[in-house]
Chain A
Amino acid sequence: MKRIEKNKFYEKLNDLIGEYRVFAPFGDRYRYIEDVSEIRFDGLLTKMSPKAHFLPQEEELFRWDERENIKVKDVNDKYIVFGMRPCEVRALSLLDLVFNTEKFPDPYYINRRKNTIIISIACNEPLETCFCTSFGYGPFTKGDADLMLVDMGDYFLGEGDENILDLFGFTDSEEDYKELKEKAESKIKRIEIQGIPEKLEQIRETDFFKKITQRCITCGTCTFLCPTCYCFDIQDRNRLNGGKRVRVWDSCMFKIYTQETSGHNPRYEEYRRVRQRIMHKFAYYPSLYNQYGCVGCGRCVTYCPVNFDIREVIREAGGYNG
């Protein structure tokens, strides 16, 4: 194991701002910081997930001038995302399945992903709403992070890429985090997901989804906060001498999302949209990628304005015999 004093770590991180654009927790969200003193941890998880770095809420695809010459912005920035939690790192590996495809790979996402060093922090004190261990990983999983830190009070333990450990000046240590890990894992309440994809397909046409939709106002908060939700709209923005085409976050909870020009809407009824969200994560994703599309971060549970709890929905689906 390797270790580093916290002040030494932050000093080095500060030195790297400039060479890298650093995306770090800033209260309820992440932002690009100018100085490490701006970093603010408000609890374990930010409200807005750090997916906003990899899939910005609004991202320019290209712009054009008054003669309609199209130009794609050349982006060569290097980034560090500091402070991601294991669930958010896992969410990235799920987004990779959609964006880093053999046919039609997404150049914007892949560019950011490739040019970003991910420094995650393990979760010593998981929240009441965490259910990550349901999905075969946990609060101390490094996953696709380049470096995972474990908070030991005055210092961090680190594991990951040797070059990055050296860059920060980590030194050897005899310690490990086994005890912290076990303690954290034992606190997390798992949900039973065995057989859920098949069960959801079975009850797809029953009243189940109509029933659970009675609790949902299809506001879309869950989809914007979810680290694995990636749906987007493409819009044109006109300017005086040209314009730009952007993609912006969108949500399957919105009626207009699937509304066709003719007025026809295949997901007009709210229950169809709720069914889409639940089944995309718990049936379609497993069927396509052999992975659940949920990482168990609990944001949708915490921030739903009407207490729609996806853990309960999955439990109810498991026992539904209607």
Chain B
Amino acid sequence: MDNPYVPVPMRVKMARFESDDRSLKTIDLEPVEGEIFDFMPGQFCEISILGKGEAPFGIASVPWEGILRFTINRAGVVTTAIHQLEEGDVVGVRGPLGNWYPVDLFEGKNIVIVSGGFAFTTLRSLIKYLLKNRERFGKITLVYGARRPDLLLYRDELDEWKKSGEMDMYITIDKPVEGWEGYVGFVPQVLEQASPSPENAYLVMCGPPAMIKFTLPVIEKLGFKPETVFTSLERRMKCGIGKCGRCNIGKYYVCKDGPVFSLDQLNKLPKEY
């Protein structure tokens, strides 16, 4: 029997700080032996540093890149240990865990992606997936904001995507900064400006609680029905496989039944997230 508690060793292929304040670090992992496992955008892994513990992180890459990418905010014991990793170091990985963005449901529809800060990670995975299968989807709109330009993740790719013209992009920062040519303002306002149509469309949103709180009314005003809005939740997790008990919201376990939920599902659950 496969043991779901035992991490698989993976080597750090690339490690770089993502933001000027070094609070965000991106690591690319490749298996020490064999090929990378298959996974879908929105799934997550438990990254394990022996002696420190494990923590769950959304996967920012897609399988055909041959690596697992994570962008990690330094916050506690495990993330601090991860921030000290250098290229060549070995960590443990358990995954892929959880469900994924319902890309089959999205087929033939317009997709609106709304994000703030470093919650953008699994949305990079989603965007890579959508662009790879571009002809299967309608218009794609991205509204993505951060406090400062350096806190926007994957800026090189944002530029590439912008140039390619495959998406309508609204990249915004909170306050004006010299040299910044994108939008200025909070995500909810920029989303309202972008004003994507809810017709034949699905909306995916990931961001900090404050962004979500102020974005929800805008989404409602734009006319998106709760069953067409998807978000990815975070909770304290340990096992990641629906056993240890702590990440449940009502009868659902975020690790096993999520992390992706529709707004319609969440509206019926206790507000415990």
Which of A's residues lie within 8 Å of B, judged by CB? Answer: 61-62, 64, 68, 70, 72, 98-99, 101, 103-108, 110, 204-205, 230-236, 238, 243, 245, 247, 250, 252, 257-262, 264, 266-267, 272, 275-276, 279-280, 283-284, 287-288
- Residue among B1, B5, B92, B244 making CB contact with A233, cutoff 8 Å: B244
A288 lies within 8 A of B242 (CB): no
Could you tell me if B243 and A98 are in contact, using CB atoms closer than 8 angstroms?
Answer: yes
Cβ of B267 within 8 Å of any chain A Cβ, yes or no, is: no
A61 with B79: in contact, given A68-B50, A234-B244 (CB under 8 Å)?
no
B5/A61 in contact, CB under 8 A: yes
Report which residue of A108, A110, A258, A284 has the largest number of chain B beta carbons within 10 angstroms of its beta carbon: A258
B interface, over-half SS: loop
Say whether B245 contacts A231, CB under 8 Å. yes
Question: How many chain B residues have a CB neighbour from A under 8 Å?
Answer: 38
Interface of A is mostly: mixed
Whether B238 pairs with A258 at a CB distance below 8 angstroms is: no
A260 touches B236 (CB 8 A): yes
Quick check: is B136 within 8 A (CB to CB) of the other chain? no
**B residues within 8 Å of A by Cβ?**
1, 3-7, 9, 50-54, 75-76, 79, 90, 92, 209, 234-236, 238-239, 241-251, 256, 270, 272-273
Nearest A residue to B233 via CB reads A266
Identify B242's interface contact among A101, A204, A252, A258, CB under 8 A: A101
A-B contact pairs, 18 of them (CB 8 A): A62-B5, A70-B92, A72-B3, A98-B242, A103-B241, A104-B242, A106-B243, A232-B244, A233-B244, A236-B52, A247-B244, A250-B246, A266-B235, A276-B248, A279-B250, A283-B251, A287-B251, A288-B251
Q: Which of B50, B209, B235, B249 contacts A236 (CB 8 A)?
A: B50
Nearest CB in chain A: distance from B256 CB, A: 8
Note all chain A residues with C-beta closer than 8 A to B7: 70
- Contact assessment for B50 and A234 in the assembled complex, using a CB-CB cutoff below 8 Å: no
Q: Which residues of A contact B272 (CB under 8 A)?
A: 266-267, 272, 276
